[in-house]
Amino acid sequence: MDGRSKAPGKVIIVGAGITGCAIAWHLARLGHTDVTVLDRGTLGAPLGSTGHAPGLLGRNAASPVMAALADYTAEFLMRLPGAVFNKVGSVEVARKAETADLLERKAATARGYGFEAHVVGPGELAGLVPYMDVSGLKRGLYLPGDGTLDARAALRGLHEGARDAGVTFRENVAVRDVLVREGRVVGVVTDDGEIVGDKVVIAVGIWGAELLKRHGIALPLFPVQHPYFTTAPLAVLDGAPAPSRHPMVRDLENVFYLREHGDRLGFGWYSHAPAPAEVAALIEAEMAFPAHGFHEGLSHDLFPVLAGAPIERKLNGIFSMTPDGGPLLGPVPGEPHLWVAEAVWVTHSGGVGRAVAEALLGLEPTIDVGAFAPDRFAAMPEDVCRARSLSLYNDIYAWPAP
């Protein structure tokens, strides 16, 4: 490629969550504003996973591409107006010797990317997170460049930036199918009629497979349920002036994470049996919290403050899994005018937005996301795709062996 933009004509983005808005923002920044973003909800009250994202942003990853996407996202969000990204750092902890060795390897990987990383002892951990019980810990990994974010604030910033640059947003427009004429995708079919465009990007999160199924496309995308609790205000955080003051914490052995929300704590866990979600009838990316199935796997022994703490909200949120845990990005095989940007975590949203925008414009990629093509599981039977995707849920913090 010669590095010059090849205008894709009118781009229709279906889904105004953080991924769709990030693509629109970057298209506009790259000079292409013939873009229409459609959403069946309102931008002020997102219906998808963005609306309830816990907002943990860790840059380090076993995959250099995922690390690069997260790093760009963190730096990008820090430039958005408002308190979107709070760089308080992250801590990962180890009780067992093998986990402590893993933290050493993860620190080496992080430094290889150019990220600041410190392997610390229990005393330093107690100073970083004063309300954490460090008595049983051997070691911790402290990554100062990580932090927490407000996904809704990020969404507002992206929407306003793209809108002010000339992107069109249409709320309360439900897309029912892609529009095909003479064997080619030429737009979308909505409750309000047909909308014609040159490129269609599906960025509807957990509903992606359901939408494309109507067009005869099997997308390897599997929605799962995930618990997230938010406490009532706690005395230990009384008067907290910022969304987070202390690092977010990941307990790799209990597959548990925790962050601050001002004077509240939020926490989630992946130690329960994976719970698939049927999403066709869902209006929002959440379901009723079940009486059984989630609590049985919960262990938060590092945080005595949570014992008996009043829970203000119990969220059963839905997000998507794929067979390798990566996103699905790019044109659908055999459908060059139909693209997907699916299974994207908030952590990588900015980087994905830039990568997809560059690809739509025919530009050389700043970060090559070719490994995340949506057809990479084409030879894998659907039942195997599903089983592998669900099996990754409990191993969400897994790290490749050396």
Q: How far is the CA of 245 from the CAs of 70, 262, 264, 265, 278, in angstroms?
A: 21, 8, 11, 11, 37
49-53, 79-83, 128-132, 218-222: range with lowest mean pLDDT: 79-83
Residue 46: pLDDT band (50, 70, 90) is confident
- Which whole number is the average pLDDT over 138-160? 95
Q: Where are the alpha helices (H) located in 30-150, listed in sequence order?
A: 64-79, 97-113, 122-128
- Which whole number is the average pLDDT over 197-220? 95
Q: How far is the CA of 291 from the CAs of 223, 288, 294, 295, 301, in angstroms?
A: 20, 9, 8, 8, 22
pLDDT at 5 over 80: no
Domain definitions of the chain by residue range: 11-51+152-221+326-381, 90-144
What pLDDT score was predicted for residue 4?
45
- Which whole number is the average pLDDT over 200-227? 95
Distance (Å, rounded) from C-alpha 324 to C-alpha 347?
17
DSSP class of 266: E
Tokens of 266: 């939020």
| Tens of pLDDT, residues 274-319 | 999 999 999 999 999 998 889 877 889 999 999 989 999 999 999 9
Q: How far is the CA of 396 from the CAs of 146, 217, 319, 391, in angstroms?
A: 18, 27, 13, 9
Neighbouring C-beta atoms of residue 71, cutoff 10 Å: 22
Side by side, which strands form the sheet with 175-181? 175-181, 184-190, 193-196
Q: What are phi and psi of 105, to 5 degrees?
A: -65, -40
How does the average pLDDT of the chain come out, rounded?
94
Which three-class secondary structure state does DSSP give residue 194?
strand
C-alpha radius of gyration, the chain, whole number? 21
Distance (Å, rounded) from C-alpha 308 to C-alpha 365?
50
Side by side, which strands form the sheet with 286-287? 118-120, 139-143, 90-94, 248-251, 256-261, 264-269, 222-231, 311-321, 286-287
Which three-class secondary structure state does DSSP give residue 166?
coil
What pLDDT score was predicted for residue 6?
59
| β partners of residue 225 | 318
What pLDDT score was predicted for residue 3?
42
Cβ neighbors of 319 (< 8 A, separation 6 or more) are 49, 205, 206, 223, 224, 226, 285, 345
Neighbouring C-beta atoms of residue 314, cutoff 10 Å: 14
- If you search the block for the tokens 């794929």, which residue do you land on? 322
- Per DSSP bridges, beta strands 256-261 and 248-251 are antiparallel
Q: How far is the CA of 145 from the CAs of 125, 209, 292, 345, in angstroms?
A: 16, 34, 37, 18
Query: With 0-12 CB in 10 A as exposed, 13-18 as middle and 19+ as buried, what is 394?
Result: middle
Give yes or no for a contact between 88 and 246, defined as CB atoms under 8 angstroms apart: yes
| Tens of pLDDT, residues 373-394 | 999 999 999 999 999 999 999 9
CATH of the domain spanning 11-51+152-221+326-381: 3.50.50.60
What pLDDT score was predicted for residue 400?
87
Vertex 143, ends 107 and 158: CA angle to 5°?
125
Distance (Å, rounded) from C-alpha 191 to C-alpha 295?
40
Q: How far is the CA of 244 from the CAs of 37, 82, 85, in angstroms?
A: 32, 15, 10
Closest CA to 129 of 308, 323, 300: 300
In this structure, what is the dihedral angle of CA atoms 65, 222, 318, 69, given to the nearest 10 degrees?
A: 10
